[in-house]
Structure 1
Amino acid sequence: MEEDYVEVRKSWWERNWKWFVPTGCVSILLIFVLFIAGIFFGVTSMMTNSDVYKGTMNEVQHNQLVIEKLGTPIEDDGMTSGSINTTNNDRGNCNLQIPIKGPKGQATVFVVAEKKGVWKYSEMTVFIKATKEEIDLLKK
């Protein structure tokens, strides 16, 4: 008597779950990380493209005392932190910390401003890290 063997074929899931589950988990994690990175770089880009940031960097790069302490060129050195809030582009406020560097050293620029049509700065100081010196850019 011959026995008939019926081959039972496993489903796709039964054959492939061992590689599909880890790949799916890694994919979801990667999408989440890319989403968070996109938000981070979007916010950072928004700050560095603002009028306050550009005006501050212009002041820093043309201030003789800062040039004396840091050398030229003076450029940003990492991530700008703080906040910029505006409504209808007519009103707003800003509080930024901008890390900068030059060939002779590093510093941080502290900016506080309020906008009522135009930005009015109440603080724009450069803190030189090596000497702990503070340079007020609003004093002319």
Structure 2
Amino acid sequence: MDNELIVEKSWWGKNWKWFLPTLTLIFSLLFWLILSLSIDGNVTDIAQAYSDNSLYEKAIEKAKTNQRVLEAIGEIEPIDKLAILEGNAIYSNNNNSVELSVRIKGSKGKGKMDISADKNGTEWKYKKISIRIKEPKEEIQILKDTI
């Protein structure tokens, strides 16, 4: 009589071939659903803001000259691409006007930068740039349209 031990495969060993593709599909669908719901279907606006570096880079340069911003947040770091995806962008007027909100991080703290701008040719003309911080709760006006 043979006394060989029969070792059965684990659940993972038996089912990984169908489980991994199914899990990938589920996560892809959830990611797409969350993305489309969280930004009210404005995927194209976020993509446009993502690709228009000058819009937020020039606003950051203006904010870096504000003394109150330097006191509250410190030296502002460049905005990473994930911050743009997490933010909110609404384009209007045939994509020549934008309302953008994006998180920023500085050497002393963090906050949200709100930008309102109109495109004049290839350049953005800023109507409003402000930074909101939580601690202490404050909104710092960098630029405010006086019209």
After TM superposition, the score normalised by the length of structure 1 is 0.60
Larger deviation: 116-125 or 92-101? 116-125
1:58 to 2:64 alignment: no
Distance of aligned partners of 1:26 and 1:63 in 2 relative to their CA distance in 1, 3 Å threshold: same
Q: Counting strand residues as a fraction of each chain, which structure ranks higher?
A: 1
Count of residues in correspondence between the two structures: 118
CA separation in 1, counterparts of 2:64 and 2:51?
A: 17
Q: 1:111 aligns to what SS in structure 2? A: strand
Structure 2 stretches of 5 or more lacking a match? 1-13, 37-42
Alignment RMSD: 3.7
Partner of 1:113: 117
Q: 2:136 aligns to what SS in structure 1? A: coil
Identity %: 27
CA separation in 2, counterparts of 1:138 and 1:100?
A: 17
Deviations 1:9-56 (A, max 9, x none): xxxxxxxxx7454455335446x35984xx899975642441211211
Distance of aligned partners of 1:45 and 1:62 in 2 relative to their CA distance in 1, 3 Å threshold: farther
1:87 to partner: Cα distance: 8.2
After TM superposition, the score normalised by the length of structure 2 is 0.58
Where does 1:61-76 land on structure 2 (aligned, <5 Å)?
61-76=64-79
Structure 1 stretches of 5 or more lacking a match? 1-17
Q: Which amino acid aligns with 1:52?
A: L
Contact 1:111 1:124 in 2 (8 A): yes
Deviations 1:64-98 (A, max 9, x none): 3211211224344762322253788xx61111111
1:26 to 2:23 alignment: yes
Partner of 1:104: 108
Q: 1:126 aligns to what SS in structure 2? A: strand
Contact 1:48 1:54 in 2 (8 A): no
Contact 1:110 1:124 in 2 (8 A): yes
Distance of aligned partners of 1:26 and 1:62 in 2 relative to their CA distance in 1, 3 Å threshold: same
Distance of aligned partners of 1:23 and 1:110 in 2 relative to their CA distance in 1, 3 Å threshold: closer
